[in-house]
Amino acid sequence: MALEIVRIPVLSDNYVWLVHEPESGETMAVDPAVAEPVLDEAQARGWTITQIWNTHWHPDHTGGNAAIKEATGCTITGPAAEAERIPTLDRKVAEGDSVSLGIVNAQVLDVPAHTAGHIAFHFPTERVAFVGDTLFAMGCGRLFEGTAEQMYSNMRKLEALGDETRIYCAHEYTQSNGRFALTVEPDNSALVSRMEKVNAMREAGEPTVPTTIALERATNPFMRAASVAELAARRAAKDAA
C-alpha cells in the first residue's frame, strides 16, 4: 500500500484521517473537525499538510479547515454542490473528477442523502475509500437532506467498489449501529460474531474502523436492505431507537 493512513480521534466520536504519500511527501487531512490535534499529529510525524479533502459541509467535518489552511497554506478540495456552505474551498469537485495525493489518484463519487452534495473519495489502486457520513460500520448516515432512494443507490455504488475495499468513515458508531442491526437480523451469525468482537474492542478502548465492503455486505442492515422501502423502514426505526 502506497499510502500511510493515521486515525486521529477528536470531539466525542469523530475520526479525522491523516493520509501521507511517502514518495512525494504530500499529506492530506480528511474532514478535519478541529485543527490542533491534526496539526500536532502531522508535526509529530514530520509531515506537512498540503491538502484537505472534505466529504460534506457539516461543521464536525470542516471546522478545522481555516486554521489548518492558515498554518500550512494547504489546498482544500470538497463537494461542488456544497461550495456555498464550505467557504474555505479552493477546488470544487463532483463525480467523474479525479484528485491526487502525490502519485496516487482518487476518484470522486457523488453519494448524496446525508447531505445534498455529499461526496466520497475512492483510491482504486489502494482499495481505500473515504466515505464521510454516508456509510458506517454496520450503519449509514441519517437522511438529513436526501432520500432513502438516494441512500439505497449509494449502498449499491459503494458495494461495487469490491469486497476488499477498506472503508474509512468519520465516526465511531459501530457498537450502537451493531445493536440496532441485531434487532433487524438477530439470526445473522456473521453479525452476532462481529458484535462479539466489536464489544471486546470497545471494552479495551480500541477503534473499530476502518471496515471493509465484505464486512458491510455481511452485517450492515442498510447495505443488506433488499429495496428502497426496506432501507427507508430500517432508517426510520434506527432514528426512533
According to DSSP, the residues that pair with 93 across neighbouring strands are: 79
Q: Using alpha carbons, select from 10, 99, 5, 120 the residue that is nearest to residue 51.
A: 99
Active-site amino acid positions? 56, 58, 60-61, 114, 133, 171
According to DSSP, the residues that pair with 135 across neighbouring strands are: 140
Which grid coordinates belong to 92? Answer: 470544487
Total length of the chain? 241
> Mapped to the 3 state alphabet, what secondary structure does 160-173 carry?
CCCCCCEEEECECC
- Indicate the Cα dihedral angle 109, 111, 112, 117, nearest 10°: -30
Contact (CB, 8 A) for 56 and 80:
no
Residues contacting 105, CB < 8 A, separation 6+: 98, 99, 123, 124, 125
* Strand ranges, E, within the chain: 4-10, 14-21, 26-30, 48-53, 75-79, 91-93, 98-101, 104-110, 119-123, 128-132, 135-136, 139-140, 166-169, 211-212
